[in-house]
Structure 1
Amino acid sequence: MISVAGVTVAYGDLVAVDDVSFDVPPGFVLAVSGPSGAGKSSLLWAIAGAVEVLTGKVTVDDLVISDRPAAAAHGVVLIPQGNGLARVLTARENLTIPLLAGGRDPDEVQAAAEAVLEAVGLAESGDHLVEELSGGEQQRVAVARGIAQGGRVILADESTSELDSTNRERVLTLLRTQADRGAAVVIATHDPTVADAADGHAVMDEGRLSWARRLSVDRP
């Protein structure tokens, strides 16, 4: 369960997230839409422990999220906007190195990497350097890396923005599969198609959150 309670994030005098509260239970997908600069990314990064919360708190399964390493160790996966891949590594290495560093069995890691690359339509591109891939292909590698980690929370920041309709559906199907196995999923998006496919839809503007379609378990 993700619980966001009265969270405010500020950068100096700029308030990016303004007193936001909601819950996302396991098995649900929440879409957060809004214009550029509305605070969507800051909200996801706060849930991931990657930015400091000025007031309020974020908890995941009763653990208070205060920093990124602890959040990652607790299974909070962030798929960042701009993909965050190592461009001098291959697509496969971007998937396998974090898993191996986490102590996963090498044979299991290789099998997981191949399966998720196939799932995002990049089975033939595993040996390509990231810098050789198109923007949309890089975006799909970033999604594959996040999915391969198998977290209890998946935070996807504009992870379909550069994709055509076929590959957008691939990614949405994968994120839905993560929810079906019990993860709580939050997607920041500009795309109304993505928002329509989610279980709930929140809208951010100037750091404030309102509801287009509320999850039944959210706070009133």
Structure 2
Amino acid sequence: MSLEVKEGECHAVLGPNGAGKSTLLKTITGTVVPTAGEIQFLGEKINGMSTHKIARKGVSLSPENRRLFPDLTVHENLTIATIFTDETKSKENLNFVYEIFPRLKERVSQKAGTMSGGEQQMLAVGRALMMDPKILLLDEPSMGLAQIIKEQIFNGIKKIKETGKTILIVEQDSTMVMPIADKISIFEHGHIIFEGTSNELKNNDSIKSAYLGL
């Protein structure tokens, strides 16, 4: 498999459970070690690097299970992710997170463990953004959420994209990512069976029917 994400691009990876989407992100971040092949980030091979070192290179993941600190507040969860950024940039990032997800600002002193699933997802995305990454990895940000909450989260992701941030997003809900993705790849059993723009996907009836249920 060969997958390229260009700088400033929002690249979405779609496909059914077990297709290898989340494994892709885990491999990029170093939590899964590939048995073959090479992963390059900004021209540098990152295979075999520690997750900490990869993060310092500018790779930040909002994981599928969120992995928040339930006993810490919204503010604490966000600011704990600022170890790689200076104070001025951290304040800018924090203000931007509160701008795209106003609900987090309303709940700044609330413990993460007492928040709804949608609020926790906003917090997970915000925390990943606080690291000021060169590429933002998002793993299933809409999973298990009501439609109205999905829309709020993807409105936030759209605003992140508009800043020029490079985004790689793994998702099952094609209707949420197609409007914002510059490029879409569809996985099946670890293989790419389609790659193109949203318009190209819309015009590919066989792929839409077989893999997306559209």
TM over 0.5: yes
Contact preservation (8 Å) 1:32, 1:195: no
Please name the residue that 2:176 is paired with. Answer: 194
How far the C-alpha of 1:192 sits from its partner, in A, is: 1.4
Structure 2: stretches of 5+ with no match in the other structure: 199-214
Identity percentage over the alignment? 29
How far the C-alpha of 1:138 sits from its partner, in A, is: 0.5
Inter-partner Cα distance in structure 2 for 1:33 and 1:202: 6
2:86 to 88, 97, 104: 104
2:65 to 82, 86, 95: 82
1:43 to 2, 24, 35: 24
How far the C-alpha of 1:172 sits from its partner, in A, is: 2.7
1:94 to 69, 77, 89: 77
Cα pair distance change 1:185/1:86, threshold 3 Å: same
1:52 to 20, 33, 39: 33
Cα pair distance change 1:132/1:114, threshold 3 Å: farther
Structure 2 residue 123 is the aligned partner of structure 1 residue 135: no
Cα pair distance change 1:144/1:103, threshold 3 Å: closer
Inter-partner Cα distance in structure 2 for 1:50 and 1:63: 18
How far the C-alpha of 1:158 sits from its partner, in A, is: 0.4
| 1:18-69 superposed Cα distances (whole Å, 9 cap, x missing partner) | xx20211111111111111111000011122221011111111112113311
2:137 to 146, 155, 165: 155
Greater helix content: 2
Inter-partner Cα distance in structure 2 for 1:62 and 1:86: 34
Inter-partner Cα distance in structure 2 for 1:52 and 1:113: 32
Structure 1: stretches of 5+ with no match in the other structure: 1-19, 216-220
Cα pair distance change 1:29/1:159, threshold 3 Å: same
The one-letter amino acid of 1:211's match is F
Greater strand content: 1
Cα pair distance change 1:141/1:26, threshold 3 Å: same
How far the C-alpha of 1:212 sits from its partner, in A, is: 4.7
What value does the CA root-mean-square deviation take over the aligned residues? 2.1
The one-letter amino acid of 1:120's match is F
Cα pair distance change 1:62/1:167, threshold 3 Å: same
Cα pair distance change 1:119/1:183, threshold 3 Å: closer
Inter-partner Cα distance in structure 1 for 2:43 and 2:91: 33
How far the C-alpha of 1:200 sits from its partner, in A, is: 1.2
Contact preservation (8 Å) 1:117, 1:141: no
Inter-partner Cα distance in structure 2 for 1:210 and 1:89: 42
Between the two proteins, the alignment pairs up a number of residues equal to 194
Cα pair distance change 1:191/1:94, threshold 3 Å: same
The one-letter amino acid of 2:41's match is V
How far the C-alpha of 1:110 sits from its partner, in A, is: 4.6
How far the C-alpha of 1:148 sits from its partner, in A, is: 2.2
How far the C-alpha of 1:133 sits from its partner, in A, is: 0.3
